[in-house]
Amino acid sequence: MVGQRIGNPLFTSLRHRLLGPPIPRHAAATERLGNAQALAVLSSDALSSVAYATQEILAVLVLAGSAALALSLPITLAIVLLIAVVVLSYRQTIRAYPQGGGSYTVARENLGRPASLVAAAALLIDYSLTAAVSLMAGTDALVSYAPALLPWEVPIALALLAAVGWANLRGVRESGQLFAIPTFAFVVMVALLGLAGLLDLGLHHGLRPDPPQAVAALQPLGLFLILRAFASGCSAMTGIEAIANGVQVFRAPEARNARLTLLVMGGLLAAMFITISGLAWLYGVGADPDRTTMALLGLRLFGASSPLFALLQLCTMLVLVLAANTAFADFPRLGALLAADRFLPQQLAWRGDRLVFQNGILMLQLLAALIIVFCRGSTSLAIQLYAVGVFLAFTLSQAGMVVHWRRSRERGWRARAAMNGIGALATALVLLVILISKFSEGAWIVVVLLPVLVALLSAIRQRYQQVERAVALDPRRPTQPAAAIRPGRPSEAADRPAAIVYVGRLGMVEHGLSQPVLDAIRYAASIAERVEAVRVLAPGEDPEPLLADWQHWVGDVVPLVVLRAPYASFIQPFVAHVASVEQQHPERTYTIVTAEAIPRRWFDNLLFNKGVIELRRALTQERSRVFTLVRYYVPA
């Protein structure tokens, strides 16, 4: 993963050209999005799903023969009703959690840790599948226009994945500007498709539906098949939670703008879904293995040689590709929340120079690439795994909101609890339908992965807690430890050794002092006449716990310098401080001392020392320096 480094000038210049120059932390508010841009960034997944949701319904119904395709319209209307329930429910969530109310946050605060970890695991799987499915569906749209590209589906999808990841690494505002045009162009093209259909139906075709191409039934039309079609069509609901989870992306007033944008998104989604399914029913469009439903409708209403057909396919491809951006917006944010709660490695909470969680973006790229390769570019195969995590997260979120309103008992809480209760019941029933109807078709993989992922998240937190307990200092210790820390006696020589101790992440236990850092300070005092320690604070971090521990355990014999990071990097301010001190005293030789954990378990390397590695790289790339690691053996 990429760390917080400053690198050599050539690397830095190249990175700035690709991703843009660093953005100061105080400019984070300017990276917020207006409602239109936020709609494009956070709703592209939900809006673009109409490009394949109707197609997935038809692909199941056709198994019962061409006559069963007429059920696609009532199934669509049932899903639209469910969309309305979920949208109204999440508007309540935004009201209660204006700082961002994703399923993980709501479940953690209202249902407890086990439920929150299930929600987190479901969302991590869902976001990974969202990115992969959107990119593969975008590739399908391209191949529907140019069938000669069919053998290149996987490389095309991977190339598009790299492009979306790069755009997100450039930052929130720039990705919003980049994605707004294709999203709204797709909405306009669906509207034009619907308008062309209305004109044709009213002037030429009439409102009597065409019979679809005759297809022999492979399965009887029963309740189970209808439920399977309904479950497949529910892929249209993916991404609805994104706005509730990303409230802080909006400009002030965040909650009001997010609620309005969610309502607009729900209305657009319902209208577009009904338009596509209605036209497909009226024109007798069935399931075609070589062309998407959108492409078949475009051919019928625009014509193969029309530039409107080419534009429809281009906009469909672009919006599906950019729909992956919903996952790129929310997966890193969820990863950062889990890292802050110690359920994932701490480096997932690091912000890059562009104020994005760059390690989360890179991790999502890797997971999505694996899914694309595993599914060989097949959208249908990935969609079988898709909706389980979505509706599990929906259900836990809405159930958590019921508990929230019962606890708060604020004015109007009964009506709000009822709204969220209806949402929880509806999504729970759909989840049951999906599990039953899709279990043998691939949903079992998600059912198996969920407990494995929950166990992994719990194991990471337990490991962090175990190590923190082991390195914590005992405040009941009766002796004054500061007496044991005495730098060498100052001499007249100006070039006597000096040391600077970096108080890094390993050295912080609830923002206080720990045994590894105390060992590093004692070592520095044993080799140098002049010693100082430096701590770079995180945004909003209170230095008082550290200062209190410092006074008790170290005292005034070693001064503590507290810095704040103007940019995302915690390392750059420390390196700049070292350079400043060296410039002031060029005659002295400074030793940089920091604590390093010695791993005992195979995944310890993922949890510890990432900051130390990046610090050493940053310090030694610019000039020759003495860098000493005080190793601390963590418990097995």
Residue 193 has what pLDDT? 93
For 212-255, what is each residue's pLDDT tens digit?
Answer: 777 777 788 888 888 888 888 888 887 788 888 778 778 878 88
Q: Would the pLDDT of 478 be above 50?
A: no
301 and 342 both lie in a single domain: yes
- Verify that 431 and 488 share a domain, yes or no: no
pLDDT in tens, 270-304: 999 999 999 999 888 877 777 888 888 998 899 88
Lowest model confidence (mean pLDDT) among 39-43, 381-385, 555-559: 381-385
pLDDT at 292: 83
Q: Is residue 324 part of a domain?
A: yes
Q: Residue 597 is part of a domain; what is its CATH number? A: 3.40.50.620
Domain of residue 498: give its range.
481-633
Do residue 173 and residue 306 come from a single domain?
yes
| CA-based nearest residue to 353, from 21, 615, 621 | 21
Among 461, 491, 525, the domain boundary falls at: 461
| For range 474-487, the mean pLDDT | 55
Task: State the Cα–Cα distance between residues 70 and 57, nearest whole angstrom.
Answer: 11
Question: Are residues 188 and 337 both part of a single domain?
Answer: yes
Q: Could you say which of 406, 433, 461 is where a domain stops?
A: 461
Average pLDDT estimate for 80-108: 86
State the Cα–Cα distance between residues 595 and 610, nearest whole angstrom: 12
- Count of residues making up the chain: 636
Run of H or E including 532: strand 530-537
Residues 226 and 321 in one domain: yes
For residues 106 and 151, state if they share a domain: yes
On whether the CB atoms of residues 150 and 377 are closer than 8 A, the answer is no
Domain contains 3:
no
| Band of pLDDT at residue 520, cut at 50, 70 and 90 | confident
Quick one: 455 and 518 in the same domain?
Answer: no
pLDDT value at position 101? 65
- Which region among 367-376, 439-448, 480-489, 615-624 has the lowest average model confidence (pLDDT)? 480-489
Residue-wise pLDDT for 325-342, tens only, equals 778 878 888 888 888 888
Same domain, 427 and 565: no
Q: Which of 461, 489, 515 is the last residue of a domain?
A: 461
Q: Is residue 144 part of a domain?
A: yes
Average pLDDT for the chain: 80
Do 454 and 490 lie in one domain? The reply is no
Between 169 and 567, name the one with better pLDDT: 169
Considering the domain boundaries, does residue 28 fall inside one? no
* Pairing, β 590-598 against β 530-537: unpaired
Q: What is the pLDDT of residue 26?
A: 41
How many Cα atoms within 13 Å fall on the side-chain side of residue 605? 2
Residue 1 maps to a domain: no
pLDDT band of residue 32 (cuts 50, 70, 90) is low
| Whether 353 and 225 share a structural domain | yes
Q: 133: number of CA atoms within 13 Å, CB side?
A: 30
Q: What is the pLDDT of residues 103-160, one digit of tens each?
A: 888 898 899 889 999 999 988 988 888 888 888 888 887 887 788 887 888 898 899 8
pLDDT over 90, % of the chain:
12
Residues 218, 312 share a domain: yes
pLDDT at position 39 over 60? yes
Highest-pLDDT range among 353-362, 443-452, 479-488 = 443-452
288 located within any domain? yes
Q: What's the rounded mean pLDDT across residues 177-199?
A: 85
**Of 57-66, 447-456, 570-579, where does mean pLDDT reach its minimum?**
570-579
pLDDT at 263: 92
Picking from 358, 307, 310, 314, the residue whose alpha carbon sits closest to that of residue 332 is: 358
Query: Residue 182: its pLDDT value, please?
Result: 83
576-586 pLDDT per residue, tens: 888 888 888 88
Model confidence pLDDT, tens digit, residues 409-432 = 888 888 888 988 998 898 898 888
Q: Which residue has the tokens 């005293």?
A: 585
Number of domains in the chain: 2
What is the pTM (predicted TM-score) of this model?
Answer: 0.76
User: For 459-466, which contacts have Cβ atoms below 8 Å and span 24 or more sequence positions?
Assistant: 460/342, 460/343, 460/344, 460/345, 460/603, 460/607, 461/341, 461/342, 461/343, 463/601, 463/603, 463/604, 463/607, 464/342, 464/607, 465/342, 466/635
Residue 26 located in a structural domain: no
**CATH number of the domain where residue 413 is located:** 1.20.1740.10
Residues 506, 425 share a domain: no
pLDDT at 19: 47
* Cβ(621)–Cβ(7) below 8 Å: yes
Domain membership of residue 163 (yes or no) is yes
- Amino acid 394: pLDDT: 87
Between residues 383 and 452, the one the model is more confident about:
452
